[in-house]
Amino acid sequence: MEKGKVDIEFIRRYIRGELTPREMYVLERQAQADPMLMDIILGMEQETLDVHDDHLADIRKRIAECTGQRQTATRRLAPLQRWAVAASILAVLTVGAWWFTREDAIIEQHEATVAATSEQTPEMPEAEAKPLPEPEAPATKERVADTAPRTVRIAAADVAAANQAEKKEERLAMVTPKADTGTGLLDSTIVVGYGTQQRSAPTGVAARLVAAEMDTAVAASARAAENPNKPSPKEGWDAYRQYLRNAVKLAPGQGVVDLAFTVDDEGRPTDIAVIETTNEKLNTFAILIVRDGPRWLRGNATQRDVTLRITF
């Protein structure tokens, strides 16, 4: 933690006694040199965290009233988001089955390509991360054009895409067992989903829920690379993956971190949040990699949320 930058959640974990002695020491040592950090810790120690939460909710309300902010402007929407996630999961169940039967033929064709690529380079599984053929792009465009019940439609598309990716992975594992052994070493990424608008993560989250069940680490969702409406790395996916491959080498451990973020007007990833992690120690590292990494193209205004998996 750089001086002047305080990770409140980390301090909360300190207070809750969830940190290792070493982590506690590091925080305490930093606090000795950083009055702001020290004051926050001492303040937080005054009462229990649930008491703080009540007061903080009150404060947020008062600030919002004072500025005429709509409550939606704050990001404390957890219960709402949970409902949205539940709704999206429902969409998985209903649309998923339909999609599976419909897309089977395309997947067959797809699988052949992927298998061929992997067979050529069995020692380099990141080859999978290259853009795959785009069987689904036309379908996606159709849906975007069709604005009717938008959220549900797009959720369905994302979810189905994730389903498809999952299926792809399963088949890939069957066809090329060699690639499977290499997955632990994979240091590539996937984009598993996009939200429809800022802060409405549910569609991405639904896709993530499905994607999280994948055993293998990489499923290149190349459809995103082609669609100008969605955020994508400014220099292209290949360059971005290369950047990530280099960046993760410095990581202090191994694991998988799923991030969600928004791309701001200047193309910087912002509002970066960890939505799933297998190794807490990597969270900050993952966020910094994306935050300080190459810029992104925003895509159109309603589709800015990006979900990104980084495998260390």
Q: Which residues bind another protein (CB under 8 A)?
A: 4-6, 8-9, 21-22, 24-25, 28-29, 32-33, 35-36, 38-44, 46-47, 51-52, 55-56, 58-60, 62-64, 66-70, 73-78, 81-82, 201, 260-261, 264-266, 268-277, 287, 291
The CB-of-167 to another protein minimum distance in angstroms stands at 26
**Residue number, 72 or 121, with CB nearest to another protein:** 72
The CB-of-270 to another protein minimum distance in angstroms stands at 5
> Using CA atoms, how far apart are residues 163 and 159, in angstroms rounded to an integer?
6
**Residue number, 212 or 297, with CB nearest to another protein:** 212
CA 109, 122, 223, 218 dihedral sign is positive
**Residue number, 73 or 124, with CB nearest to another protein:** 73
> Using CA atoms, how far apart are residues 198 and 175, in angstroms rounded to an integer?
39
**Residue number, 77 or 173, with CB nearest to another protein:** 77
CA distances from 162 to 19, 107, 116, 190 (A): 35, 13, 22, 11
**Residue number, 39 or 142, with CB nearest to another protein:** 39
Q: H or E segment at 223?
A: helix 223-226
Residues 6+ apart with CB under 8 A from 249: 187
The CB-of-135 to another protein minimum distance in angstroms stands at 32
Other beta carbons within 10 angstroms of residue 105's beta carbon come to: 10
The CB-of-75 to another protein minimum distance in angstroms stands at 6
Torsion angle, alpha carbons of 179, 117, 235, 227, to 10: -100
**Residue number, 26 or 106, with CB nearest to another protein:** 26
The CB-of-222 to another protein minimum distance in angstroms stands at 27
Distance of CA 171 to the CA centre of its chain: 24
In angstroms, the first-to-last Cα distance of the chain is 20
**Residue number, 174 or 288, with CB nearest to another protein:** 288
Query: In terms of DSSP H, where are the helices of 16-77?
Result: 21-33, 35-44, 49-67
> Using CA atoms, how far apart are residues 38 and 122, in angstroms rounded to an integer?
52
The CB-of-110 to another protein minimum distance in angstroms stands at 32
The CB-of-87 to another protein minimum distance in angstroms stands at 15
